[in-house]
Amino acid sequence: MSVPPAIAGAAPPCGEMDVLEKLTVLTDAAKYDAACTSSGGDRRSRAGYIGNTTTAAAGCCHSFSADGRCVTLLKVLLTNRCVYDCAYCVNRRSNETVRAMFTPEELADLTVQFYRRNYIEGLFLSSGVYRSPDYTTELMIRTLRLLRETYRFNGYIHAKAIPGTAPELVEQLGFLADRLSVNIELPSEAGLRALAPDKTKQAILAPMGQIRVRNQQSREELVKYRHAPKFAPAGQSTQLIVGATPDTDFHILRLTQALYDRYRLKRVFYSAYVPVVENPLLPSRDTKPPLLREHRLYQADWLLRFYGFRAEELLEPDRPDFDTRVDPKCSWALRHLDFFPVEVNRADYEALLRVPGVGVVSARRILVSRRVRRLRIEDLPKLGVVMKRAQYFLTASGRMAEGLRFTQDSLLRNLIAAERPALPQAVFEQLSLFAPA
Amino acid sequence: MTEIIYEYDGSFEGFLSCVFESYLCKELPTAFSSGEELPSSLFPVRTVLTDPERAARVYRKVAKLSPEAADLLRRGFLTCLPEKELCLYRLTAKLLEQGPRFLRDLSDETLLPVLRAVRHLNGEVHQYKGFTRFSDLGGVLGGEIQPKNRVLPLLRRHFCDRYRNERFFLYDRTHHEALFYQEGKSLICPLDHFRMAPTDETEARYRLLWKRFYDTIAIRERENPRCRMTQMPKRYWGTMTEFQGESYFRPTAAPAGVSGSAAPAGIPAPGTPPAPGPSAPGSAP
C-alpha cells in the first residue's frame, strides 16, 4: 500500500461527502459494537412529539442483518476520527481508513425520517474520541439535544459514555438518553494495558458507578416528584470483546456477575473478536471469530439473569472454559446427576429451571397446569418442554418417558446430538463427536 | 341435539350470535361458514343473523366466568386457525358447562389449539411492530403488510400511539382491509382495490439510505443466513424496504415544483454492497 498514513487521527476535511457516504462509513465503523437493544423504555407519546418507547419489556427488532443480528436502532458513530490507538479497533488512530463526521442536523434528520418509516426504534449514538473525551461528549450532547428539542424526537436513544469524560457531561447525557453504556472492551486490566493503552479500568468503572448512582437517585426523586427528569430510565449496559485476549470464560463470567450485582447493569454483551489488524499481541488475521464461545457465554449469561445460577456453579478455576459440545445448563446437569430426576408434579420453580429443556416459560406453565391435575410425560411437550433434552432429567408422576434407556455415556452422546442442529452453521466444523472432553 | 351448519356474516358478533342460537335451539353446529364457499355436506345449513344484543349477552357471560377466556375468544377470532369458529365454539361450550377451571390446564385438548393459534397471532403482531414499513407519500405515511392472522386490530394501538401526530394508513394484503389514522381517530375497514401511491424523490432517497445502512451493518465474517431466516422468516420480506428490487429505490413521480436534479449525482445502484474503500479495514481477506 502506498497511501501515506499522514492524515490518521487528524481531521481531514470531509465537507464534500454526502450523507449516503457518511452513513456508509460511520455505520461500517460502528457495526462491531454488539450492545444494541431497545428494551426497558415505557414512555408514551406526547402531543407535538414524534414517537414513544412503549415496545417496552422485550424491545423490538426492526430487521435482522445478514449475520442474523437484530437491527433495532440506527447504530452509527458521530465520527470515526479517534485520538486513541486501541489495537483491536478499526477506528484506531494509526489505521488508514476514510474518516467522516455527521453534522448534528444530518443525524437528527436521518433518525427522525427512519423512525417515521418504522425502520428503527431509535438512535444508538457512539463515537470515536475526537480531540478529547469531553469534546466528543459535548458534540454528542449537542446532537441529542437538537434531536430531542428541535426535532422533538420522543423515541429511544442509547448513548455511549466515553471513559474519561467529566461527570457533569455524563450527567447531561443521561438526561437525554434512555440508556447509557460504557464499554469495558477487554475483560482484564492486563488486556487493557497491552491493547488499549489510553484506557484504564478506573476510567471505565468511574462513569459506570456514576450512572448507577444517578439512576438510583432519579428513581427516588420520581417517587417524590412525578415530573422529575429521568436519568437513563432504561439503565446501562456494556460490552466485552471475547477472544482478543487470553482471558478464560470463567474470568469473563465472574466479571459479568459482578457487573450485574454491583453496577446493576441491564445487559452485558459479548462480541466475538473479528481480527481487523495484524498485531503480535492479537490473534492472527485468519482467525475466525469465536462464535461458538460467544454463544456459550450468552447462554450462561441467561442462566445468571433468569435461572438463578451463579458463575461458580457453571465453571471452576480448574475447568475454566465452557464445553463446546453441550450448552452450559446440560453441562451442569451432567455433573450433578444426583440432583435428577426432578419430579414435575412436586418440584419448585427453581428446581424446574435447572432441568435442561425446561425454560422460564415452560416452568411457569408447569406450575399453573399442575394445580388442575397431575401431569403426565405426554403433557409436557404441549407445555413447551423440549423433551429431547428434558426426558433424561425428569419424571412425571414418578415415571420417565416410556422406553427410555440410557447410561452416563450414551446420555452425553444423546445430548450432543440434540444440540447440533441448534448451533449456528458457522460453528459446525468446530464440533466433533470424538473431541476430548 | 340436532347437528347443523351455521352460516353467518363472518363478524365476531355474528359468531357470538351463533353461539346464542345453538343454545336457544339446542343444536350442535358441526361447521361454520361465512361468505362464498359452503361446505358440501349432508347437514342442513341455516343462516344466523347477527344480533348485537345476543352477542353481548354471550360475551358478558363468558367474561364473567373468565376474563381470560373472553380475551382468548376475541384474539382467537383474529387467528388463521383452520375451523377457528368450531374450536372457539367448543371452548365456549366447555366453559359454560364446566366453569373456568380447565382453562388453567394449559395442555387441555380443547384449550390447546386455541392457545397455540393465539400465541402465533401474538407473535406475528410483535413481529409486525418491527417489520412493518411505511413510506412518506406527500405527508401521509402509508404501509402494506401480508400477515397470516388478522393483526391490524392488535397493531392499532401501537401505531396510533407511536405516530400520534402523523396521518397514516396500513393495508393488509391478505385480508383486504386497512387501518387509517388521523388526529386521534382511527378506523379499520375493508378495502378491495388498493394501489400504493407513487414514490417521490425524497422518499426514494430515504429508502436508499436505509438499504445502505442495512447492508453495511452486517459483519461479513459472521454471515449466518439460517439464523436470519429463523428470526425473520422470508414471508415477511416481501413488504420490507431492504429486500425490494432496484426499481423500488427510484422515484416514480417527481415531487411538485422540484426538478429532477434534486438527488445528488451518482447514486449507486441499490443493493450493491458499499464500496470497498471506506468499509471495515481488515474485513477483506
* List of chain B residues whose C-beta atoms are within 8 Å of the C-beta of residue A36: none
| Interval A372-401 mean pLDDT | 93
CA distance B227 to chain A (A): 5
- Same domain for A138 and A221, yes or no, is yes
> What percent of chain B shows pLDDT beyond 90?
76
Do the beta carbons of residue B21 and residue B45 sit within 8 Å? no
Cell of B93: 361450550
Distance of CA B89 to the CA centre of its chain: 23
- Using the Cβ of A27 and the Cβ atoms of chain B, whether some distance falls under 8 Å is answered with yes
Nearest-CB residue to B227 (from A369, A382, A424): A424
Please report the pLDDT score of residue A406 as a whole number.
84
* List of chain B residues whose C-beta atoms are within 8 Å of the C-beta of residue A81: none
User: Residue B281 and residue A70: Cβ atoms within 8 Å?
Assistant: no
- Same domain for A136 and A264, yes or no, is yes
User: Residue A47 and residue B241: Cβ atoms within 8 Å?
Assistant: no
Do the beta carbons of residue B65 and residue B100 sit within 8 Å? yes
Asked whether residue A203 is assigned to any structural domain, the reply reads yes
Asked whether residue A181 is assigned to any structural domain, the reply reads yes
Please report the pLDDT score of residue B161 as a whole number.
92
Is the confidence at residue A7, as pLDDT, over 50?
Answer: no
A64 Cβ contact list (under 8 Å, min separation 6): A70, A71, B227, B228, B231, B232
- Using the Cβ of B266 and the Cβ atoms of chain A, whether some distance falls under 8 Å is answered with no
pLDDT digits (tens, 9 = 90+) for B122-139: 999 999 999 999 999 999
Asked whether residue A315 is assigned to any structural domain, the reply reads no
Whole-number average pLDDT of chain B: 87
* List of chain A residues whose C-beta atoms are within 8 Å of the C-beta of residue B101: 372
CA distance A335 to chain B (A): 30
> What percent of chain A shows pLDDT beyond 90?
64
Full domain range(s) for residue A408: 328-430
Strands (DSSP E) along B61-218, which ranges? 134-137, 140-145, 167-172, 177-182, 185-190
Please report the pLDDT score of residue A394 as a whole number.
93
The model's confidence at residue A284, banded by pLDDT at 50, 70 and 90, is: confident
User: Residue A67 and residue B227: Cβ atoms within 8 Å?
Assistant: yes
Torsion of CA B272, B276, B277, B280, to 10 degrees: 110
Q: Which of B208, B182, B196, B210 is nearest to B137 (CA)?
A: B196
Asked whether residue A277 is assigned to any structural domain, the reply reads yes
| Interval A25-50 mean pLDDT | 84
Total CB pairs under 8 A between chain A and B? 200
CA end-to-end span of chain A, whole Å?
A: 45
The model's confidence at residue A401, banded by pLDDT at 50, 70 and 90, is: confident
Residue that the C-alpha cell 436508499 belongs to: B208
- Using the Cβ of B234 and the Cβ atoms of chain A, whether some distance falls under 8 Å is answered with no
- Which DSSP string corresponds to A73-120? EEEEESB---S---TT-TT-TTS-----B--HHHHHHHHHHHHHTTS-
Rounded Cα gap, residues B107 and B93, in angstroms: 18
Please report the pLDDT score of residue B173 as a whole number.
95
User: Residue B129 and residue A60: Cβ atoms within 8 Å?
Assistant: yes
| Interval A193-214 mean pLDDT | 90
Instruction: Determine the 3-state secondary structure of A295 from DSSP.
Output: helix
Instruction: Determine the 3-state secondary structure of B257 from DSSP.
Output: coil
Please report which residue ranges of B165-200 form alpha helices under DSSP H: none
State which of A242, A268, A289 marks the end of a domain.
A289
Is the confidence at residue B190, as pLDDT, over 50?
Answer: yes
> What percent of chain B shows pLDDT beyond 70?
86
* List of chain A residues whose C-beta atoms are within 8 Å of the C-beta of residue B208: 20
Do the beta carbons of residue A413 and residue A433 sit within 8 Å? yes
Please report the pLDDT score of residue A6 as a whole number.
39
* List of chain A residues whose C-beta atoms are within 8 Å of the C-beta of residue B134: 116-118
Asked whether residue A367 is assigned to any structural domain, the reply reads yes
- Same domain for A341 and A414, yes or no, is yes
CA distance A45 to chain B (A): 6
pLDDT digits (tens, 9 = 90+) for A46-60: 888 888 887 756 778
User: Residue B210 and residue A114: Cβ atoms within 8 Å?
Assistant: yes
| Helix B111-131 / helix B152-162 crossing angle, nearest 10 deg | 30
Please report the pLDDT score of residue A422 as a whole number.
61
Asked whether residue A437 is assigned to any structural domain, the reply reads no
* CA distance to A81, A83, A198, B241, per residue, from A25 (Å): 11, 18, 24, 21
The model's confidence at residue B261, banded by pLDDT at 50, 70 and 90, is: very low
Is the confidence at residue B114, as pLDDT, over 60?
Answer: yes
Whole-number average pLDDT of chain A: 88
| Interval B12-29 mean pLDDT | 94
Computed on alpha carbons and rounded to an integer, the radius of gyration of chain B in Å comes to 24
Please report the pLDDT score of residue A226 as a whole number.
81
Asked whether residue A297 is assigned to any structural domain, the reply reads no
Q: How many domains does chain A have?
A: 2
Q: Which of A207, A208, A210, A337 is nearest to A265 (CA)?
A: A208
Residue A237's DSSP bridge partners are A181, A267
The model's confidence at residue B277, banded by pLDDT at 50, 70 and 90, is: very low
Cβ atoms within 10 Å of A298's Cβ, excluding its own: 15
Is the confidence at residue A2, as pLDDT, over 80?
Answer: no
- Same domain for A270 and A353, yes or no, is no
Please report the pLDDT score of residue A223 as a whole number.
87
* CA distance to A125, A154, A168, A268, per residue, from A176 (Å): 12, 10, 13, 22
- Same domain for A21 and A158, yes or no, is yes
Residues 65-104 of B with CB under 8 A from A: 101-102, 104
CA distance B190 to chain A (A): 23
Please report which residue ranges of A374-407 form alpha helices under DSSP H: 387-390
- Using the Cβ of B235 and the Cβ atoms of chain A, whether some distance falls under 8 Å is answered with no
- Which DSSP string corresponds to A70-86? EE-EEEEESB---S---
Residues 188-207 of B with CB under 8 A from A: 206
CATH number at residue A135: 3.20.20
Instruction: Determine the 3-state secondary structure of A359 from DSSP.
Output: coil
Q: Which of A422, A383, A380, A322 is nearest to B227 (CA)?
A: A422
User: Residue A116 and residue B134: Cβ atoms within 8 Å?
Assistant: yes
A21-35, A291-305, B38-52: segment of lowest average pLDDT:
B38-52
The model's confidence at residue A403, banded by pLDDT at 50, 70 and 90, is: confident
Please indicate whether residue A39 or residue A193 has the higher confidence score (pLDDT): A193
Residues 181-200 of A with CB under 8 A from B: none
Residues 312-371 of A with CB under 8 A from B: 365, 368-369, 371
Do the beta carbons of residue A232 and residue A174 sit within 8 Å? yes
Rounded Cα gap, residues B181 and B140, in angstroms: 10
Rounded Cα gap, residues B263 and B134, in angstroms: 21
Nearest-CB residue to B101 (from A113, A117, A372): A372
State which of A266, A289, A312 marks the end of a domain.
A289
Residue ranges covered by each domain of chain B: 2-122, 132-190, 201-262
Please report the pLDDT score of residue B257 as a whole number.
40
Rounded Cα gap, residues B91 and B72, in angstroms: 10
Is the confidence at residue A39, as pLDDT, over 50?
Answer: yes
Query: Per-residue b/e over A57-90, b at no fewer than 16 CB within 10 Å?
Result: eebbbbbbbbbbbbbbbbbbbbbbbbbbbbbbbb
pLDDT digits (tens, 9 = 90+) for A412-433: 888 888 877 666 544 444 444 4
Please report the pLDDT score of residue B36 as a whole number.
63
Nearest-CB residue to B209 (from A20, A48, A100): A20
Q: ω before A317 within 30° of 0 (cis)?
A: no
User: Residue A95 and residue B222: Cβ atoms within 8 Å?
Assistant: no
Please report the pLDDT score of residue B271 as a whole number.
37
- Same domain for A272 and A393, yes or no, is no
Is the confidence at residue B80, as pLDDT, over 90?
Answer: yes
A277-281, B80-84, B87-91: segment of lowest average pLDDT:
A277-281
- Using the Cβ of A422 and the Cβ atoms of chain B, whether some distance falls under 8 Å is answered with no
Is the confidence at residue A400, as pLDDT, over 50?
Answer: yes
The model's confidence at residue A281, banded by pLDDT at 50, 70 and 90, is: confident
Is the confidence at residue A121, as pLDDT, over 50?
Answer: yes
Q: Which amino acid is at A149?
A: E
| Interval B3-27 mean pLDDT | 93
Residue that the C-alpha cell 429486500 belongs to: B243
Rounded Cα gap, residues A384 and A363, in angstroms: 9
User: Residue A67 and residue B223: Cβ atoms within 8 Å?
Assistant: yes
Is the confidence at residue A35, as pLDDT, over 80?
Answer: no
- Same domain for A248 and A335, yes or no, is no
Kindly identify which residue of chain B lies nearest to residue A382, measuring between CA atoms. B107
* List of chain B residues whose C-beta atoms are within 8 Å of the C-beta of residue A383: 106-107
Cell of B271: 443493493
Please report the pLDDT score of residue B37 as a whole number.
64
- Same domain for A96 and A38, yes or no, is yes
- Using the Cβ of A226 and the Cβ atoms of chain B, whether some distance falls under 8 Å is answered with no
Asked whether residue A52 is assigned to any structural domain, the reply reads yes
State which of A270, A289, A308 marks the end of a domain.
A289
Residue B190's DSSP bridge partners are B177
